Amino acid sequence: MRDAAPTTIYLKDYTPFGYVVDSVHLTFDLEPHSTRVTSQIAFTPNPEATDRSFFLHGEQLKLISAKIDGIAISPTVTEQGLSCDVPNAPFTWETVVEIDPANNTALEGLYMSNGMYCTQCEAEGFRKITFYPDRPDVMSVFTVRINGPHPVLLSNGNPVDAGPHWAEWHDPWPKPAYLFALVAGELLAHSSTFTTVSGKHVDLNLYVRPGDEGKCAFGMEALKKSMIWDEQVYGREYDLDVFNIVAVDDFNMGAMENKGLNVFNSSCVLASPETSTDDNFERIEAIIAHEYFHNWTGNRITCRDWFQLCLKEGLTVFRDSQFTSDLRSAPVKRIRDVIDLRGRQFAEDNGPLSHPVRPESFQEINNFYTATVYEKGAEVIGMLKRLVGDAAYAEAVDLYFARHDGQACTIEDWLKVFEDTTGRDLTQFKRWYSQAGTPRVNVTEDWTDGTYTLTFTQSTPATPGQPHKDPRVIPIAVGLLGSNGDEVRKTEMLELTEASQSFSFDGLSSRPTPSILREFSAPVILERDSTNAERAFLLAHDTDPFNRWEAGNALAKDARLNMITKGAAPDADYLDALQKLVRDDDLDPGFRALVLQPPSASDLAQTLFENEHAPDPQAIYDASETMAQTLAQTLADSLPRLYAATTVEGPYQPDAVGASNRMLNFRMLALLSRLDGGDQAAQQFASADNMTLQYAALVCLLSIDKGAEQNQAFFDQWKDDRLVMDKWFAAQVAFATPEKTAAIAATLTQHPLFDMKNPNRFRAVMGALAMNHAGFHHISGDAYSLLADWLIKLDPLNPQTTARMCSAFQTWKRYDADRQALIKIQLDRIAATPDLSRDTTEMITRIREA
């Protein structure tokens, strides 16, 4: 067994650690296979704790020596850690351990990536570096000495001193061990400086491998924008002399907010016009902001225990969304966030992996870095802000920073600052943190004697371990439109608190058209009978951009669902509404592109399932293809003009306006390709001087089962660029036709550049396989077994990435009996694999229990 038998940890069992850590001094003697870590830790008995047993976490460590107050001791060591008797008074603890970073393929703790040393300690990776109370409520001041031959030796905080082959760092801010970081390697710095609002000078460095120095400028600018934004919007200033970012090629997640030393997956920080798309630029800007914002929401104020993960993640995602909205188009950001929420979080919340924003138990915390904790966690903050208003939100957050700076907190602490500043009782609101599942909100309406009444009824389906749900507080933003499209009632925030509740509007001269759940004011599924005519009206007139898009989205979904379930032809009203909208040059091109973006196959599948139809992935694919073809023909006259009008002249800039035009330009090219067999796309591919246009052209070609020549040319041009090669691997699988998908993915796993140990490359192929809905669910079952084969192979090397990718199977109960049987075989096969990791065991067990 590589992992100890899984045990379940419960929120209700929390107790504080028996000792306070006054200071930590670490020395690293770096060697690829035998790095020595010497720790000197000052412990004091914790007056607030009752349990004084002394247990330090430690996994995969070779204990060389242990001393208490300078005297050698022989502690009891197990696979999980170490225990021994200690004095009932302050004492100094010292251990020497040996670890093997070169063989650390799990990418947790201290590991090596392309010859460079780096660490990943969240959530529980520090215990793979040395024996320590590895829990977020134990905060301490760290001093770190690194001995190694590398020109760059980094840790948290401020540099103290350095010499040939050594460096010392001191972080004055007490922090939990999960924020510890160390980096050593032959790296180049892209440097700049920042002066904070109170005049403090900060050195900024972005460290990269030689060859990547041309991809740093955008990230550095994004960092400065984030620093200014957090000062201006949240009053948060940076608090060290340096802020370092390091790009690492082998990384399980996107990036990590270690104090003063953020470590980034290189795909989430390196960017250049030639190698990155507009979407990459926007994502990089957001992730840099996210990690930077953690300095206050996560680091200065951290989590008491891992059940409180949403305290830092929900709030930080909310803050990075605000940042992107401020810098770019707010409506486009909101629409994209909702598409993403429905695609990932709703799928999670309505399946076997459903869990509350604040879970109450887990086996492996790494499995809870989920869309529910992050994105639904952010939606909960958005709702709170809508309920109390902007000014009260600002006041409460100020109090949060003032009251809790330097502490490890809980959701109760967070809600209390809102209760104290607003006088509101948030007991019912707190259900958003404790109840899993997506609420359904049904709306009916009445028009009697000049009074218009909306009646809302809420219910949430049972989720694993939670058969019964209580009504939540749901903010529902409603506006009313008159027959000429004028707003007869501006947006009002209705507060739904009962299972069923009515709201009336008086003094209207005629029956209005309601615009409900504006700005997507709550993460719920709204159920309401509507007509195509009403949706077309809202698509043309709604003054709320989100709901305007939503009306188009509802039309788009219905048209396809009718094709699938009733054999209907592509809906004429829908096509007509789209024609009008696409040609309306007063509308933001990015917004028009989003209205044209087809609903995802997975979203259609979920809706079919909810309406008691087992979704047929091939039928969904066929309907979407027919619709795209019909749309292309309907818009044929406008396509060349709009394609030309949205072609951005001049050198490429990753700015919001250019990106918005290119979004629509891409939609036009995709439709044009269906009429001209890909001629225009081939031309664009040949002449493109930036990745956005080059990649868009390749995608358009692959989507119509063409582009073999361009695919080869793309490979020849970019084979030495890792990040572009990830795109190459992914595109071939993601845009393959259903019957070819599994075979293409299988072939790519045999490609010399396929490397399962690199999470980005593994995800490029296997993630794309799972995302190609009709390809993944092809009735041959080939994709299911291919993915299972590779999950079984990866698990012993990298449990965390394996476990995350198991979620490809989470929706299996949506599908027909044949597909369920095919998936079940694979789930059983994975479950029966000897020595399966704790991470993957937990995921597969939960999915199988569906």
Q: Which of 252, 249, 247 is nearest to 263 (CA)?
A: 247
Q: How far is CA 272 from CA 79, 190, 649, 657, 733, in A?
A: 45, 14, 18, 18, 24
> Whose Cβ is closer to Zn ion: residue 171's or residue 313's?
313
Cα–Cα distance, 790 to 803 (Å, whole number)? 12
Q: H/E element holding 226?
A: helix 217-234
Per the annotation, the verdict on 360 as an active-site residue is no
With beta carbons less than 8 A apart as the criterion, state whether 664 and 691 touch: no
Q: Which of the following is catalytic: 94, 257, 282, 291?
A: 291
Count of residues in the chain: 850
Q: How far is the CB of 433 from Zn ion (least distance, A)?
A: 17
Exactly one of 130, 147, 252, 521 binds ligand 0A1 (CB under 6 A); that residue is 252
Q: How far is the CB of 101 from ligand 0A1 (least distance, A)?
A: 16
With beta carbons less than 8 A apart as the criterion, state whether 83 and 107 touch: no
Q: How far is the CB of 313 from Zn ion (least distance, A)?
A: 5
Q: How far is the CB of 252 from ligand 0A1 (least distance, A)?
A: 5
Find the part of the chain contacting ligand 0A1 (CB under 6 A) among 254-262, 400-408, 509-517, 603-611: 254-262
> Whose Cβ is closer to Zn ion: residue 316's or residue 800's?
316
Position 134 contacts ligand 0A1 (CB under 6 A): no
**Minimal CB distance to ligand 0A1: which residue?**
253
Q: Which amino acid would we find at residue 163?
A: G
Compose the 474-493 pattern: x for residues touching Zn ion by CB under 5 A, - for all others: --------------------
Of residues 296-315, those binding ligand 0A1 (CB under 6 A): 313
Q: Which residues pair with 453 in a beta bridge?
A: 446, 504
Find the part of the chain contacting ligand 0A1 (CB under 6 A) among 250-258, 346-354, 481-489, 819-827: 250-258
> Whose Cβ is closer to ligand 0A1: residue 285's or residue 291's?
291
Give every CB contact of residue 92 below 8 A, 6+ residues apart in sequence: 40, 41, 42, 43, 68, 69, 70
Cα–Cα distance, 754 to 759 (Å, whole number)? 11
> Whose Cβ is closer to ligand 0A1: residue 137's or residue 558's?
137
> Whose Cβ is closer to ligand 0A1: residue 123's or residue 222's?
123
With beta carbons less than 8 A apart as the criterion, state whether 694 and 717 touch: no
790-814 CB burial, b ≥16 within 10 A, e <16: bbbebbbbbbbbbbbbbbbbbbbeb
Tokens of 424: 């509101």
Q: How far is the CB of 209 from ligand 0A1 (least distance, A)?
A: 20
Exactly one of 59, 230, 257, 542 binds ligand 0A1 (CB under 6 A); that residue is 257
Compose the 345-374 pattern: x for residues touching Zn ion by CB under 5 A, - for all others: ------------------------------
Exactly one of 171, 291, 364, 571 binds ligand 0A1 (CB under 6 A); that residue is 291
Edge-first strand listing for the sheet containing 261-265 = 188-195, 201-208, 242-248, 261-265, 255-256
> Whose Cβ is closer to ligand 0A1: residue 134's or residue 313's?
313
Q: Which of 261, 270, 293 is nearest to 117 (CA)?
A: 261
Q: Which residues pair with 445 in a beta bridge?
A: 454
Cα–Cα distance, 582 to 556 (Å, whole number)? 14
Of residues 791-850, those binding ligand 0A1 (CB under 6 A): 800
DSSP 796: T
Position 366 contacts ligand 0A1 (CB under 6 A): yes
Of residues 286-325, those binding Zn ion (CB under 5 A): 313, 316
Position 156 contacts ligand 0A1 (CB under 6 A): no
Of residues 97-126, those binding ligand 0A1 (CB under 6 A): 120, 122-123
Residue 630 binds: one of ligand 0A1, Zn ion, none (C-beta under 5 to 8 A by kind): none
Q: Which of 495, 653, 624 is nearest to 556 (CA)?
A: 624
Q: How far is the CB of 323 from ligand 0A1 (least distance, A)?
A: 14
Upper half-sphere CA count for residue 392 (Cβ side, 13 Å): 18
- Beta strand 487-496 pairing with 76-77: unpaired
> Whose Cβ is closer to ligand 0A1: residue 77's or residue 365's?
365
How many beta carbons lie within 10 A of that of residue 467, not counting itself? 8
Find the part of the chain contacting ligand 0A1 (CB under 6 A) among 248-256, 353-361, 714-722, 774-782: 248-256
Position 255 contacts ligand 0A1 (CB under 6 A): yes
Q: How far is the CB of 270 from ligand 0A1 (least distance, A)?
A: 17
Exactly one of 247, 256, 286, 696 binds ligand 0A1 (CB under 6 A); that residue is 256
Residues in the interface with Zn ion (CB under 5 A) total: 2
Q: How far is the CB of 291 from Zn ion (least distance, A)?
A: 7
With both helix axes pointing from N to C terminus, report the angle between 572-583 and 589-596 in degrees, rounded to the nearest 10.
160
> Whose Cβ is closer to ligand 0A1: residue 256's or residue 704's?
256
> Whose Cβ is closer to Zn ion: residue 310's or residue 765's?
310
With beta carbons less than 8 A apart as the criterion, state whether 546 and 331 touch: yes
Exactly one of 253, 577, 582, 843 binds ligand 0A1 (CB under 6 A); that residue is 253
Q: How far is the CB of 263 from ligand 0A1 (least distance, A)?
A: 8
Alpha helices in 735-834 (DSSP H): 738-749, 759-762, 768-771, 773-776, 782-794, 799-805, 817-831
Q: Which residues pair with 188 in a beta bridge?
A: 208
Catalytic annotation, residues: 291
Which residues bind to Zn ion, rule: CB under 5 A?
A: 313, 316
Which residues bind to ligand 0A1, rule: CB under 6 A?
A: 120, 122-123, 252-257, 290-291, 313, 366, 369, 800
